[in-house]
Amino acid sequence: MPIIVESQPATAETFVSAIGGRAAVVANLEELKRGLTADDQEFAIILGPSVDLEAAAALATTLRVTRPPTSVILIRRRVDTSVLAEALRSGMREVVEERDLTGLGAAVTRAAQIWAALSGPAGASQTVQAGKAIAVFSPKGGVGKTTLAVNLALALAQHGKRRVCLVDLDLGFGDVAITLQLFPARTLADAVPMESGLDVGLLETLLTPHRDGLFTLVAPVQPDAKDTIPASLIGRVLRLLKSSFEYVVVDTSPSFDQHVLAAFDETDELLLVTTLDVPTLKNVKIATETLDLLNFPKSQRHLILNRADEKVGLSSGEVEATLGMPIMAAIPTSSQVANSTNSGEPIVASLPRHPVSRAIISMADALLAATATTKSDTSGKRATSPKRGLIRRGGK
């Protein structure tokens, strides 16, 4: 049951009605803390507009570590950039405007879903996951992100004989299926009705195998299906896949939407893809600043320069200086990349000795080295890092 912290009784009563009438109400944070000491089953803490923002952020920072499944939902009379930034830094999962009662109800529903996913059998498996999730992200479209994700997944599967799954998380316009010329019987959208009972066995029925040993979970065929997929489902799917596969490569959409943020919560290594043009560099720079606000560890971010040998007046050194991070891999330009993709044979599979293929295979080797030190702790089990949490405005 949620707990609402609000000193104004009439305002608190309005919030109780908005979330269906089942909630405890306390007047201040001290009263909340006494209640939490006695009961650790509350799936949502709703901080009303009377709660001081700095105190709310301090509470959220503590709960993020001590109670990861519990969602902190912040209600403000006005939501602006400074409020969102503070919420991001402290790990609050939702920010809702006071008048958006529908959004508040939706936020509490998502909190219940997150609690069930993290506290149930799927959540319990987190401490023994063997797999690593590698997200391929760029805030700018057209930089070759999907091509890199597909070829990286094939490199990991083919050259290391590893069990690898590629997830297409560009839910509106995903191209993984067409790039690999797959004809999937089922997609990620088919997991929605299964969510409450989803396990590894059910999830594997949604996967489409590729002839080179790679498994894929493809995006919905209809772009509007994205609206039916809750962010909590993305986190659950990735945790289950990590318990079954050695590596899960996630091809994301070019935006910080709720699904991408949910994926970042499960990401072990993040590849930031850029090219040698000023608009893309500007967007990637903003993305790195956003990742700072999300508290995504810098040690787990890796810069990938695609089409690195183009003569456009910018050098790799200038890219590194602009973004403040070293380039992990530089992928050269070649028309063979498009030719291979158009033929349904990604270049790592069709031309493994090509310079582009060699660069991607070297990138895969570097990622294997990066994950090796955290693959297991001294007991042989994977250590679980704290969740960074999601942040969305209202019911979006």
Looking at residue 124, its pLDDT comes to: 42
Looking at residue 212, its pLDDT comes to: 74
- pLDDT by residue for the chain (396 residues), tens only, comes to 788 999 999 998 898 888 876 778 888 998 888 777 555 667 889 999 999 999 999 998 888 878 888 889 999 999 888 888 888 888 888 899 999 988 898 888 888 877 776 665 444 444 444 689 999 999 998 899 999 999 999 999 887 667 899 999 999 888 999 999 888 888 999 888 887 778 888 888 889 988 777 899 999 988 788 889 999 999 999 999 998 899 999 999 999 999 999 999 999 999 999 999 999 999 999 999 999 998 999 999 999 999 988 777 788 899 999 999 999 999 999 999 989 888 888 999 899 999 999 999 999 999 988 877 555 443 343 334 444 554 433 333
The reply to whether the predicted model has a pTM over 0.75 is no
For 345, the token pair is 């044979």
Bridge partners for 269 per DSSP: 134
CB 327 within 8 A of CB 309: no
Contacts 24+ apart (CB under 8 A), 296-302: 296/264, 296/267, 296/270, 296/388, 298/325, 300/267, 300/268, 300/269, 300/270, 301/270, 301/272, 301/325, 302/269, 302/270, 302/271, 302/272, 302/328, 302/329, 302/366, 302/367, 302/370
Domains of the chain: 3-119 (3.40.50.2300), 128-372 (3.40.50.300)
CB 265 within 8 A of CB 390: yes
Looking at residue 21, its pLDDT comes to: 64
Looking at residue 216, its pLDDT comes to: 94
Looking at residue 117, its pLDDT comes to: 67
CB 140 within 8 A of CB 333: no
Angle at 394 between CA 390 and CA 395, to 5 degrees: 85
